[in-house]
Structure 1
């Protein structure tokens, strides 16, 4: 019996201390033609300094079996291509699948030397300046980011996201209107729940980073293939599902309950699927009758999929899609106790909902070792709808032998406003890459979008006698055409030069930007140093709903004052320096200058400019506009980063900038996004506990200049029942500086066939009450009091999650 117990105990201990393993595999491709690279040597260096080695086959594929879980350096060596280095993380619950692109050497070399790691470099080979790689693995660790790609990107230098309620991306003082999201080469609608029409952000992202591969984020002077933006481009890449085995990831957390499944579609090919979905956890609690402290519960759900089919002779076909739907009811009429409402205006019930969906088909093919073709066709729908019911309320004071109790009584309720905006888009993209020798690469293509609009909006007039239509348009929304041409010249092994032309035409407004030059230059100097510069002309359409705002003339006919608005245009220029140190440290700095012109402003002299629109939850109602406004952004950015290669990372960014504009009154003012500075410090450390367990601790501190605001026009505010600011004093004041500290802790266990992770993201751990803005808030107890209140941002918010990943079935043989 003693012997049996000893054997059992030894077996049990061996299970506890045995290190789980997993497969690491991937594909190595030419960075400029996407052609598979044969014979490249792939090396993984394990913790004990032993090395795993293999070579890529005819399809550029490599594979390692039974790699112990952990984080290791991976190197690729080739006499024809430049050496490549990166870190690879191995977990037991899911295979590690990589797609690696490396650059061909200009000159032959006899000796191969491992060079410094190239972490952080963007995937687009035409980019030379103001670009940042969005690494899913890296940014997933950022405290306070809530799994939202937009909030993760707000940690980059030059990007401001100091608004707890939304994920708007403010790049170098520009409006969030200038941000364009792309998927598979196609512009997509705003990928956010509860998104106001015309904006590019919202409270919760529809995009789930678990469906993404590493992507690119551009902040200025972006390559010629990108257009219709004067601010920034988020070029998202959807990853393929695992083509070798079926895997499952499930997560339960404060922000949503989600599932992801992926695996092979056939045992005879490398076709794969990836399907995921998420539903709001708070609404699940409400459905189960669990009280969560508020009746204004956001209800939302979203999902994404990608089916990938490798074809004969190097072709690849993908079917993909993503979308989401959201609703919320803010019912002030159900409040009986007298208190200031925290969610919206205190004089109405609000019903608000949004929806977004996009799906497409993408075909890619290497026509030869030097030519690569990509084409995508897609369709999308974007929907926002709302209804407001106005409340006539009074106070009802009752006495119960002691202090008076003040209740609110609803005397009457009636509709005062409702709208519905729907935009359908049908898109096509074609591009072709071709290498001419080893020094020249050209890329040419075309993006085309066809729109249809269905927009209705009516509001009760101030007399309360009839409804007035402000939008009433149904029909074609025009065609947006964007051809481009790019050329890259590798002057030497260390120096690249890029040049390109972009053009843009929008038929609905008959707007044309015939020639938009783009230039870039990068010099890799000795000592792991780089100099880079870029410049370009960019243009952008206005929010589509603004084109169809109308009024009526004396004969009762519709007059579309803004249908012929032109593009907003901007000249970008930037100069930067980068230095890479040992152990993954990197320092980078950039200076930039941007001049915006032909910005829509009012025909009559005023402070209004489209340059200030795009954030918050309010629409705007454009009177007659003309393209005569201007703006200027300039600044300095500093980044010190330690990439997460083993167990520790740090990211410190500082941006000092100025953002000014002129409306039609000719007065220079601060833009609404001119905080003057922003700084972030992020850090994280992982501790290994044995061979299976990992504890992670991360933190973030953000400081930024306060938001701009002005003085209230009290008579107009009282008459319109919404905040109306004094025009001449617009943006003359500034709220106090923004400060927030976040902390994230996590525990991960790699079991034999599964990975478990529990995390707690403590957002605003010090409960700092940052000012969000002002709101219209009449005081029922004192009607003569100024009808406004100072709204604060999000307080302390603990966000928890539990995640599990495991193998579903054996799938295909390794």
Structure 2
């Protein structure tokens, strides 16, 4: 701990000469205004930059929709945009620093009632990027990933603060939505579906300990928790629809960051100022190995090693078209070597009787072409390819009675390699100010190379293959959706999504509908319904059990898991900065894979651990049910502070092949979050303080079958009593402190995140560990989540 504070104080000392600098600096705010549906430029739109409700400066867009405001004082400002025939838009909390220009991409929505000046005003926090999302959608910005205490600049951990989302696993960023498995989440980036974007990823999961997504390239995006529109498919729980921002097309800018989680570099700027083309790129390398090399204690002998990068190149083609190339990717590795120690250590990451080598890789590269075909029609075509890989190798460590290593025996090895090529296209046509149609498709070609071998003792020491498959399949997803604005205050969204998996001819047809009624200037009621389906994690299809005449992939013909979503929502805006939202929902799942043999097993419980799962013969005969109510009270940042209070009461049940209704693994029954923060600026210096409290129901677990556990030397639960027990409630308090200093053309920022500041011992799971060198030690014990964890970073923009 002492070494942590020494490292944290180093950048503070380096910045000390600037602290007495009292100069006043300014910056440029610029961007482009377009129609939300056709993406065409809006020339002559009025832009007003406000500070404390007073007009500071104004301008209008040029013939191509661009605007520029120079010499803007540093701090937080509000930008108001208006255009004849369109709803007026207010963007509060725009942060202006000296190190980088502010570049905005703003879309306006046409008003149903055509008047000289439309008085209806929309706040960017009230709407969504996807205009056809009626319910359960939250738009978030990069600033929120940095402002929320405990989020670690991770979009997934930031989302865990929203109502209906559980974030009660300190070691992973799995997104558990309304009692669903995190495997039911869809990650979409730049309009294409992507693999698990996390380091140390395991097949069949969507989370991990460290995100590959870098918040420095992510633009304003949508997060959906249910009844999502027809363009989203192959998901049961929610959607993370992420957008990458474009780089600055007129000025080269750079960012350097150093912290506990990594060393980062990012750059952006113009490729051609005349053509307004730009680049944006980031790279991050884990600093944990650096700290270990310096002799700094990091709490484990196994050092996680990871690096990742992302980029976007943007090329306007004339006034109506655009071409872009984008990509993200990362690699990670951890080696747990117990054979190098005189005696087996107790290591949080693995077993004490084997050397373990694990690595993972994920990458996506794509190109897109978009064109405004007319003032009412917009189309976009995207091609991408992605890869996800995880591999491991285990050697059993054999020791003599003096604990000296006398041999290493290979006992496990696997490589899961999955590629995917995607063709995505859509066209958006506005027939009138009231009616818009969007239609398109996704064509995904999956390629598999799965190999897995394990050593077995019976009948003799030998290796068997659990996976050995090479092949490919297609997933086809056409869709159409419409938006009909019956009045200025009443909007109907409806659509149809379809899925077809060529591997086993699974097919689904999924209607979706949503209605939003703004029955007063400050209140709205919304409703959404849809059928949603999802293919199984791909490795499920190809696992095989040995039979008399070879191997049979006994789960290859599993169909989609399906669900009904029904959501009702009430929204009350008390002021431009204070909002109350309440939602109630019901989700019914069917065709859930469960085992043919009577048991408590259901695939609804999988997808949230570092452990792999080897399914017995499964059938689509299981069911599930999730229902609950959620409440959010939020004050957006204004007058130096913000707060958000979220609460969820829910129930999550499932039925396995033994016909018994049980709690799912994710049924905590309640979750509450309280976030708050304040920020004060003194000339060119800004001080921030934030806090977060999370209180949620404890994790479910099953009683242990003691006799079977001792016999197998691995924990065995009583199947008939699955999830009948519950650990104590989860509680965690986080604090975030930050300091920002603006100097000429530089912005310095230092922040420290104090995670679990009260050092509460939250139970993660039960484990069984037999120490043959000290048999008197308790074999069954509770494993706890992370204790007090201080994290810091120093960032400079220039």
Which bracket does the TM-score occupy, shorter chain normalised? over 0.9
Could you tell me which residue of structure 2 aligns to residue 494 of structure 1? 489
**Gap change, CA 1:106 and 1:715, over 3 Å in 2:** same
1:140 to partner: Cα distance: 1.8
SS at match of 2:219: strand
Could you tell me which residue of structure 2 aligns to residue 161 of structure 1? 167
- Give runs of aligned pairs for residues 726-765 of structure 1, distance below 5 A: 726-765=718-757
Kept in 2, the 8 Å contact 1:446–1:483? The answer is: yes
Match of 1:643 among 636, 641, 652: 636
Match of 2:760 among 759, 764, 768: 768
1:727 to partner: Cα distance: 1.3
SS at match of 2:475: strand
Using the alignment, how far apart are the partners of 2:784 and 2:594 within structure 1? Answer: 30
Summarize deviations over 1:248-288 as a string: whole Å, max 9, x none: 01100000000000000013210000011000011123345
Could you tell me which residue of structure 2 aligns to residue 392 of structure 1? 398
1:137 to partner: Cα distance: 1.5
**Gap change, CA 1:769 and 1:334, over 3 Å in 2:** farther
Summarize deviations over 1:148-186 as a string: whole Å, max 9, x none: 110001100001111001000000000001011001111
**Gap change, CA 1:355 and 1:721, over 3 Å in 2:** farther
1:46 to partner: Cα distance: 2.9
1:387 to partner: Cα distance: 1.3
**Gap change, CA 1:492 and 1:330, over 3 Å in 2:** same
Kept in 2, the 8 Å contact 1:703–1:738? The answer is: yes
**TM-score, length-normalised on structure 1?**
0.93
Could you tell me which residue of structure 2 aligns to residue 236 of structure 1? 242
Between Structure 1 and Structure 2, how many residues are aligned?
780
**TM-score, length-normalised on structure 2?**
0.95
Using the alignment, how far apart are the partners of 1:758 and 1:431 within structure 2? Answer: 43
Kept in 1, the 8 Å contact 2:713–2:769? The answer is: no
**Gap change, CA 1:284 and 1:784, over 3 Å in 2:** closer
- 2:451 matches 1:456: yes
Could you tell me which residue of structure 2 aligns to residue 147 of structure 1? 153
Using the alignment, how far apart are the partners of 1:465 and 1:338 within structure 2? Answer: 24
**Gap change, CA 1:340 and 1:13, over 3 Å in 2:** closer
Match of 2:529 among 529, 532, 535: 535
- 2:595 matches 1:602: yes
1:33 to partner: Cα distance: 1.5
Summarize deviations over 1:741-787 as a string: whole Å, max 9, x none: 00000000111211000000000001111011122311335548763
- Give runs of aligned pairs for residues 439-588 of structure 1, distance below 5 A: 439-463=434-458, 465-476=461-472, 478-513=473-508, 515-555=509-549, 557-588=550-581
Summarize deviations over 1:51-89 as a string: whole Å, max 9, x none: 311111221111101111110111112221001001211
Summarize deviations over 1:777-809 as a string: whole Å, max 9, x none: 113355487633211001111001000001xxx
Kept in 1, the 8 Å contact 2:87–2:122? The answer is: no
SS at match of 1:239: coil
Using the alignment, how far apart are the partners of 2:399 and 2:40 within structure 1? Answer: 70
Match of 1:415 among 396, 410, 419: 410
Kept in 2, the 8 Å contact 1:24–1:97? The answer is: yes
Kept in 2, the 8 Å contact 1:72–1:646? The answer is: no
Summarize deviations over 1:105-146 as a string: whole Å, max 9, x none: 111224454736342421001001011112112332000011
Could you tell me which residue of structure 1 aligns to residue 39 of structure 2? 34
Could you tell me which residue of structure 1 aligns to residue 206 of structure 2? 200
Could you tell me which residue of structure 2 aligns to residue 69 of structure 1? 74
Could you tell me which residue of structure 1 aligns to residue 614 of structure 2? 621
Could you tell me which residue of structure 1 aligns to residue 420 of structure 2? 425
Task: Extract unaligned runs of 5+ from structure 1.
Answer: 1-11, 397-407, 807-814
1:339 to partner: Cα distance: 5.4
Using the alignment, how far apart are the partners of 2:137 and 2:211 within structure 1? Answer: 22
Summarize deviations over 1:687-723 as a string: whole Å, max 9, x none: 112x100000000000110111102234543454432
Using the alignment, how far apart are the partners of 1:329 and 1:115 within structure 2? Answer: 56
Kept in 2, the 8 Å contact 1:72–1:645? The answer is: no
Using the alignment, how far apart are the partners of 1:271 and 1:353 within structure 2? Answer: 37
Match of 1:311 among 308, 317, 327: 317
Could you tell me which residue of structure 2 aligns to residue 6 of structure 1? none
Could you tell me which residue of structure 1 aligns to residue 670 of structure 2? 677
Could you tell me which residue of structure 2 aligns to residue 247 of structure 1? 253
1:394 to partner: Cα distance: 6.0
Using the alignment, how far apart are the partners of 1:249 and 1:120 within structure 2? Answer: 31
Summarize deviations over 1:25-48 as a string: whole Å, max 9, x none: 111111112111122111001359
- Give runs of aligned pairs for residues 791-802 of structure 1, distance below 5 A: 791-802=783-794
SS at match of 1:137: helix
Which range moves more in the overlay, 101-110 or 649-658?
101-110
Summarize deviations over 1:608-666 as a string: whole Å, max 9, x none: 00000000111110111000000000000000001114521101100000000000110
Match of 2:86 among 74, 81, 87: 81
**Gap change, CA 1:639 and 1:776, over 3 Å in 2:** same
SS at match of 2:195: coil
- 2:97 matches 1:91: yes
Could you tell me which residue of structure 2 aligns to residue 221 of structure 1? 227
Using the alignment, how far apart are the partners of 2:446 and 2:118 within structure 1? Answer: 53
SS at match of 1:722: coil
1:582 to partner: Cα distance: 1.9
Kept in 2, the 8 Å contact 1:386–1:419? The answer is: yes
**Gap change, CA 1:666 and 1:778, over 3 Å in 2:** same
**Gap change, CA 1:542 and 1:719, over 3 Å in 2:** farther
Kept in 2, the 8 Å contact 1:394–1:780? The answer is: no
Match of 1:44 among 46, 49, 52: 49
Using the alignment, how far apart are the partners of 1:712 and 1:14 within structure 2? Answer: 59
Match of 1:369 among 354, 360, 375: 375
Kept in 2, the 8 Å contact 1:345–1:775? The answer is: no
Could you tell me which residue of structure 2 aligns to residue 260 of structure 1? 266
**Gap change, CA 1:744 and 1:523, over 3 Å in 2:** same
- 2:358 matches 1:352: yes
Using the alignment, how far apart are the partners of 1:659 and 1:337 within structure 2? Answer: 44
Using the alignment, how far apart are the partners of 2:383 and 2:123 within structure 1? Answer: 36
- 2:679 matches 1:686: yes
SS at match of 1:383: strand
**Gap change, CA 1:291 and 1:678, over 3 Å in 2:** closer
- 2:665 matches 1:668: no
Kept in 2, the 8 Å contact 1:462–1:720? The answer is: no
Using the alignment, how far apart are the partners of 2:189 and 2:121 within structure 1? Answer: 32
Kept in 1, the 8 Å contact 2:335–2:357? The answer is: yes
Match of 1:659 among 636, 639, 652: 652
Match of 1:700 among 689, 692, 697: 692
Kept in 2, the 8 Å contact 1:77–1:114? The answer is: no
Kept in 2, the 8 Å contact 1:273–1:305? The answer is: yes
Kept in 2, the 8 Å contact 1:138–1:644? The answer is: no
Using the alignment, how far apart are the partners of 1:296 and 1:370 within structure 2? Answer: 57
- 2:324 matches 1:324: no
Using the alignment, how far apart are the partners of 1:47 and 1:568 within structure 2? Answer: 52
**Gap change, CA 1:550 and 1:323, over 3 Å in 2:** same
